[in-house]
Amino acid sequence: MSDPVLAVAGVGKTFPGVRALADVSLEVAAGEVVALVGENGAGKSTLLKILCGDYDLDEGRVRLAGREVSHASPFEARQAGFRLVRQEPEIVPDISAAENVFVGEYPRRRLGRVDHRAMRALMLGQLERYGFAGMVDPDALGRTLSPAQMHLVEIVRALKPGMKVVAFDEPTSSLTSDEVARLFALIRQLRAEGLGIIYVSHRLKEVLAISDRVVVLKDGRVTGSLRTRETDEDEIVRLMVGRELVHDFRRDETTRPEVVLEVEGLWSRWHRDVSFRIRAGEILGFGGLVGAGRTELAKVIFGEFPHSRGTIRILGRERTIRSPADAIASDIGFAPENRKAEGLILVRSVIENASMAVYRRLSRWGLLRDRMMLERVGPVIRALDVKTPSLAQEVSKLSGGNQQKVVLSRWLAAGPRLLILDEPTRAVDVGAKAEIYRLIDRLARDGMAIMLISSEMPELLALSDRIVVMANGRLSPVIEKKDATEEMIVSHALGKGLAA
């Protein structure tokens, strides 16, 4: 094989109390897709941040196209040819999509003026070239873009002249199946053009479908480098977690007679005549395509979005819910899909984030009492095995799976009667996913009513007692657990059998 386009040799990185990377070595050849996998906290994000210049390494060397870039700044790493498509797109809300693509490197006319026409044309050209034509309006403001469109902006931002290695960090977490197919076509095109590709994902089926090699990280060390055609999911999982996992999680029904949530005749900007019930101890799964209105329904029930008519009852009592505060007072909890933007305050500590739903109970005369916070919420965090150096650790420093556990800790501490979970295992590794499944099952067994929104059909089928599917603002008839199949969910998601 020719010299690698990217060579990482003996890289180490330590943070206070945490050895994030230890003696990590890997290579990526031109025209090769290398998948980087591992549990949350294994060191994947730390390695990517070293490669793009966000972090400085403590030991080792990095060479890119034969050039030493071990201590490159973000600008120097980009100029050398390393591009990162981030898991959480960095979008400036009040400038256009095209301006977001070219931020910091705007095309200019004479006298230094920004050439908006050229910028728009360049973005349209990139979208056309890479198979995403018509999917993003270059003039749309950043704050109006959907999560999928934000990811496409992030992708186009990376794909500019001079690139030699492109890293994709969980790129499909907000994409539909059609958009995933387009992304894979793009990756294959980049591979054919001779670029090196790093593909980071918890979705092992995707890893096996798109990669040439799989590099496994565990506890900051490389535990395996496998040719994709010579391995399978079971071997990858063993190297990731050091143990066998039960892939086919199934739970026994724990539904009780008491109706916790009753929604009747609800209409909103996104919904038409939606009615359903969730009983104590029941997990009601919500299927449907991205954009079908499931997240919007959750936010209507939680008071973030308004509804024009209809009734919401909690434990038989009609509730007027105009804000999240009203929802929390009505014993409703909500773990949103976008945990970083909506579920956490990233610059605050683990204990503060986990205590947010019970602040009033822990304060006196408007002042939080730290001792009560630690006594009440600390045991919940420890019970969920949140991996953190301390409860005072800034939550942004935790892995995605541990951040999700912090969000769930908040609602365990509050003890709502209804918990809404929107994509609870999005961008979570297989080990953490199994832990979250067991936690959700435990909450239902304890009598909590759970509204589970998931785009992963195996997850819906494994966890739900009953399933409804949303399409065109309406809900399907209830699908009983014994009758539920992936084919039936897809059929309903496409609107077959639903009233017009």
The 10s digit of each residue's pLDDT in 445-473 is 999 999 999 988 888 999 999 999 998 88
Residues 6+ apart with CB under 8 A from 146: 174, 291
> What is the largest distance, in Å, between two alpha-carbon atoms of the chain?
73
**200 within 8 A of 37, measured Cβ to Cβ:** yes
- For the chain, give the mean pLDDT: 87
Per-residue model confidence (pLDDT) at position 18: 73
Does residue 259 or residue 337 have the better pLDDT?
Answer: 259
For strands 18-28 and 317-318, give the pairing.
Answer: unpaired
Share of the chain above pLDDT 70, in %: 92
Candidate from 53-57, 180-184, 300-304, 399-403 with smallest mean pLDDT: 399-403
Nearest Cα to Cα of residue 200 among 365, 302, 48, 83: 48
The residues pairing with 217 across neighbouring beta strands, listed in sequence order, are: 222
358 burial level (CB within 10 Å; 0-12, 13-18, 19+): buried
Q: Does residue 371 register a pLDDT over 70?
A: yes
Amino acid type, 272 = R
Share of the chain above pLDDT 90, in %: 47
Distance between CA 443 and CA 418 in Å, rounded?
10
Segment 32-65, tens digit of pLDDT: 999 999 876 788 989 999 999 999 999 999 999 9
Per-residue model confidence (pLDDT) at position 205: 87
Domains of the chain, earliest start first: 6-91+145-241 (3.40.50.300), 259-493 (3.40.50.300)
SS3 content of the chain, % helix, strand, coil (to 5): 35, 25, 40
Q: How confident is the model at residue 384 (pLDDT cuts 50, 70, 90)?
A: confident
For strands 213-218 and 33-37, give the pairing.
Answer: parallel
Distance between CA 210 and CA 232 in Å, rounded?
13
Q: How confident is the model at residue 246 (pLDDT cuts 50, 70, 90)?
A: very low
Over range 176-185, report the average pLDDT: 83
For strands 418-422 and 18-28, give the pairing.
Answer: unpaired
Q: Does residue 499 register a pLDDT over 50?
A: no
Strand ranges in 424-497 using DSSP code E only, listed in sequence order: 449-453, 466-471, 474-475, 479-480
173 burial level (CB within 10 Å; 0-12, 13-18, 19+): buried
Residues 6+ apart with CB under 8 A from 447: 256, 280, 281
